[in-house]
Every structure is written in structure tokens, then in C-alpha cells.
Amino acid sequence: MRTTRAPMIRLLLLLLLVAAACCFSSGSVAATDSIGLAESIIGNQTLVSAGGIFELGFFSPPGGRTYLGIRYAGIADRTVVWVANRNDPLVSTPGALRLAPDGRLLILDRQNSTVWSSPAPTRRITAGAVARLGDDGNFLLSSDGSGSPQSVAWQSFDYPTDTLLPGMKLGVDFKRRLTRNLTSWNTPTDPSPGQYTFKLVPGGLPEFFLFQGPKKIYASGPFNGAGLTGVPNLMSKDFIFKVVNSADETYYSYAITNPQLRSRFLMDGTAGVVQRYVWTNGQWSSFWYYPTDPCDTYGKCGAFGYCDTTQAPLCACLPGFQPRSTEQWNLRDGTGGCVRTTNLSCGAADGFWPVSRMKLPEATNATVHADMTLDQCRQACLADCSCRAYSAANVSGGINRGCVIWGVDLMDMRQYPAVVQDVFIRLAQSEVDALIAAARRQRPNRKLLIAGVAAASGVLLLGAILGCCCFWRKKRHAKTAPSSHSDVLPLRHRKHPAASPARNQRLEENRMGSEKDLDLPFFDLEAILTATDDFDPDSKIGQGGFGSVYMGKLEDGQEVAVKRLSKKSVQGVGEFKNEVKLIAKLQHRNLVKLLGCCIDDDERMLVYEFMPNNSLDTFIFGQFVFFAETTSNFLCWDYMCNVLTTVDIFLPQMKKSASH
């Protein structure tokens, strides 16, 4: 019976082994984020980061080859972001990942042969060593299992493939002799190295280049302490971009300020561009990419030429230079570049012409002097016959620091709308003098400029006056329809059923006291209600800061204008009386006469004589007539100015009278 079971058991084990050879997409059978010494993951087993963001395991794209990789786990598109054995795919599966006793990570095939291994660890491995996949996508070997920076013996972040994740570095670690580049996949289904590489080229000022094989096809522009001069739009509220340039290392990195945002920076081998993606609405969306336009092409306009997308043709020569080949230039091929119009004297007789809105020329072969001032830089350039240009090496914070000198032809420049920094191009002094003279000829005449500015200011001022006049005219003559939101106080009729003899007596005493205090006739509310037909909306003739104005007719037939205090006013009885006293003193033949007032509980009203021909503002803020001979009901411009001048003279007299 036992002899019968043994083959069955071996068959079951074989079936399990075959099942383990399934591709990466078949799911995880290991719910852990790490492996220890002598531990392994086999076949379709995976490591999943603690937050479930990334997973590590074997995957098999079309083609029959198997790779160990890291990919997103928590999204529908489980994009691969790192591949361990892109040069050494597994052919004999299932494969296994093992942490060897010496601290190296090994990929083994079905025959237990080593297909790939990580470099020797940089720290002494202890029994507690652990390789753990983090939520940042980094597969990190900790020599003692603590995960501290001091215990890092190896990490996948030091060996990027085609993707840069937040926190990864792109550049060179000179101290550790470690180079971190991005290299595209060969095809969308083949993770082996493709033809495109994005990397830092050390020397001079830091600059990143996109290569197609050995050919440069794009450059980020030198780093000037404030940014990469060829990437002016490298800003976003969701990202923090950083370029570090020190004696130990030079690199580019980025971080995400929004923890919910997922982003990756990809060397796209299909499009031949470096591209940033963000995950939004269930898919990867392009955030930006480079190169973006023809002027981003490396060396588009050759030596001493620059590219400008706002002009046609795109290429132009720097000041003091002319096309090397007019024939090629006319065919819109600027790759031949430009040559000097006048040769240098190679001495102090040469001069410099600044350009400021340019992407800095390629500076990998330039010489940087960190302790020089710009004046010292100028003198050093004049003393060197090979010097073509100079500039500040660092302009962070708007302060020029150090010096960079170009002793080679100026390549890969383009013009931007905004100022980048000053680059001083070395020219023969005669060329500098000619450029200065041309600039002076283009400078507008100062007297004409002042006259033009004055004229324009006058027109703008006149327009502002006209606009204000129209605005105030509309405001003064706006009429509001009655509603529950009216700005007048609710009426309290003296004959209201709720009124009492005691209340009527109190109001009468207040009326007599007010009339004595103000030395002004006091109108009864009932008389005003009768005169205005209970403040009929049809009787409303105006609206002002005080409140609404109604036309009325008293019992003796006199027409009056009644100003009724707005309910928005917080003016008390005492304040109202003081204002009435002041207005009563301002009696003049050119002012509307105040006939009296009314105070009844919350009601405050002023009663004026009625002017049938409207008020002065009707004429001032009405239609403007600029010709005196025009027949119109409105004042002509000259007459209106005269009225305004007279009012200006009269106002101080009114104030003086009021003060007495």
C-alpha cells in the first residue's frame, strides 16, 4: 500500500511545482513584505509592501521569458517599475529568489543554477539581516534587520531600470562610484535594455542628457543653482524637485507633497522621451515630457546659434555672429551653426555682450571657479584666448556666485520669454560698439516717450472720470421695486389700533420738544402719509445714501420731497437731530430749502421743497455733450466744468457757515 502511495505523492508534488511556475499575474501566496537569510520566494509567491502599494515577484511578458520585478499592487494597471534580471531572463522555470548567507540576493532557475545575483553587500551581514520591500517601492537589504540608513547593504533604488520613483536619485555618487541612469525597455514587452538612456554627464555644471545610442538628442540645460536652465516649467504644487551638486555626489530627485498622489518618471523607449505620469481617474496620465518641441532637440542650431519657437525660421545666430552656411540656413538647416562676423584680437581689446533670456550653453566641458567674482571671471576670460563666454556659476536667491568659463563653442542654446541669467558673449570690441549703437537707435526718444505717456495717462484719466460719472448717475437714479426686503422702516400709523392715548400723548410731547430743539417745523407722520399716499411706489423719485425720496403734496397744495431714512441706518434720534440742525444752517439760494422733519418712533424723515426740473446731478451725470452749439437738455462740457468749479469754490463756504 505504501509503495502505491509514494508515486501518487511525487505526482502531487510535481503538479504543485508546475502550478508555482504560473506567471506573476496569478496572484500572491505569501502575505509578507520581507525575506530573511536562507529564505526564498518561489514561482508565483510575492512580497507585498506593508501598505499594499508595491509587490515583488516573478512575471512573464509575452515571449516566454521570466523576470523578477517590482510593480504597483494597489491599482488596476499593475505597472512594472523595476526589473532585477533584465539582462538575464529566466528560461527554465519556476524561478526562486533567495537571500544567501553572504547577503547577496540570488535568482535561481529550476535546476537551482544562479541566473542573477546582486552585488556584494556594502555592510557586514548579521544573522538578523532582512530584505524588505517598502511602500516607496524600494527593495532594501538591511544588514541587521533594523532598516536604518547605516544598515543599508544594498537597495534597488541604487540600480534603477527605466523608472524613477519619488525618493530615487538620478545621477552619480562619486564617493561610492555608483552611477544611476534610466534606460528604456527594448520593446513594450521586452524589459531588456533599449536604445534610449537618460543620465547625468559629469563635469562643469551638472546637466542631464537623453541619448539614443551614443547620440545626444536632448539636454536639460546646465544647473545654475536655481534650476535646470532648459526646464523652465519644472514647478508644481504637488511636487518638490531637487538637484544636488556636491563633491560626493550629483543627482536629481523629486518628492510628492500629496501622499494620495502616485507618480512615476519614465524613460519611454516607444516615444523616445522622458515622461512624468500621474495616476488619475483610473489610468496613467501624462504630466509633462521632454523633448516637447523642435527647439528641445540637442544642437538644433549648431555652434553659436540659438533656437526660438516664436520666430520663423527657428534658428538665429548670437549677436556678432552670422550663419556658417547661408545655403543651409536658407534651407532651414541650422545644424552647421554660426561663425564670428569679426575675429577676436585675443586680448584686452575684446569686449562682451550680454544675453539673458537663454538656456545656458552645454557646460560639461566648461570650467567652474567657485570662488571667483564676475569681474574676476571677466578678466580671466580676457586673459584666455580660448574663452568664448562667461557667466555666474550659481544664481540661487538672485545672487551671483562663482564663475563658469566656456573655452569651447557654445552649443544647445534656445531663447525663452523670461530672463534666465546673464551670459556674457566674447566679441570684438567693434562688434560691441556696433551693438550698443544699434540699441540706442532703437531706444525711443525720451521727450516723445514722456509726451506719449502723458497723453495716454490723460486718456485713461478721462475714461475713469466718465466711467465714475456714469456709475454714480445710475446709482443716484436707480429705483427699487417694493418688496419684503425694502430698505425702509416699517410704518407705524398714529391711528393704528394698537396705539393708545398715552402713547399719542408721549409722541406729541416728543414732537413739541424736537421742534423747540431744532428750531425747525415738525411734520406729523399722518400728514406725510397723506401727502405721499402712504409712500406709494409710484411717488418714489430717487434713492440716495440717506434713503428713499418720495414726492408729495401737503394739504395747502405745496409740493414737497420727502427723504425717508433707510432701515439699514443705525442713526439714533440724537444723531438725527444733530444732522438736521447742521442742514438747517446751510440755507442758500442755490440749495434746496429744508422745510422740516419728522420723528415718529423708528421713522426719521426730512421734508424739502420740491424741484420740478430734477437735481443738478441729473445734468452733471447725464449725457455728455462736448459741443456748446448742440441743443440739448444736458449741460455742455465747458458749462459743466464751470458748474463743477463753482461748486468746488462754494463747498468751503458751506463748511464755514456750518461751523458757525
Write down the H helix ranges in 273-363: 326-330
**Beta 413-414 vs 305-307: how paired, if at all?**
parallel
For the chain, what is the largest distance between any 2 Cα atoms, rounded to a whole number of angstroms? 134
- Other beta carbons less than 10 A from residue 419's beta carbon: 9
Q: Distance between CA 579 and CA 583 in Å, rounded?
A: 6
User: How would you class 365 by CB atoms within 10 Å of its CB: exposed for 0-12, middle for 13-18, buried for 19 or more?
Assistant: middle
Amino acid at residue number 237: K
> Is residue 215 a known part of a binding site?
no
- Report, in angstroms and rounded to the nearest whole number, the Rg of the chain calculated over CA atoms: 43
127 Cβ neighbours under 8 A, 6+ residues apart: 37
Q: Distance between CA 206 and CA 116 in Å, rounded?
A: 33
Cell of 119: 552585488
Q: Distance between CA 249 and CA 657 in Å, rounded?
A: 83
Torsion of CA 497, 502, 505, 509, to 10 degrees: -120
With beta carbons less than 8 A apart as the criterion, state whether 352 and 432 touch: yes
Q: Distance between CA 575 and CA 369 in Å, rounded?
A: 76
DSSP codes of every residue in 464-531: HHHHHHHHHHHHHH------TT-SBPPP--TT-TT--HHHHHHHHHHHHHHHHHHTS-B--HHHHHHH
Cell of 557: 397744495
Amino acid at residue number 498: A
CA dihedral over 618, 619, 620, 621, signed as positive or negative? positive
Q: Distance between CA 157 and CA 84 in Å, rounded?
A: 11
Going through 375-492 in order, the beta strands assigned E by DSSP cover 389-391, 403-406, 413-414, 423-428
With beta carbons less than 8 A apart as the criterion, state whether 207 and 218 touch: no
Cell of 59: 512575471
List the Cα angle 180/184/188 in 5-degree steps.
145
- Other beta carbons less than 10 A from residue 520's beta carbon: 20
Residues making up the annotated binding site are 563
Residues making up the annotated binding site for ATP are 563
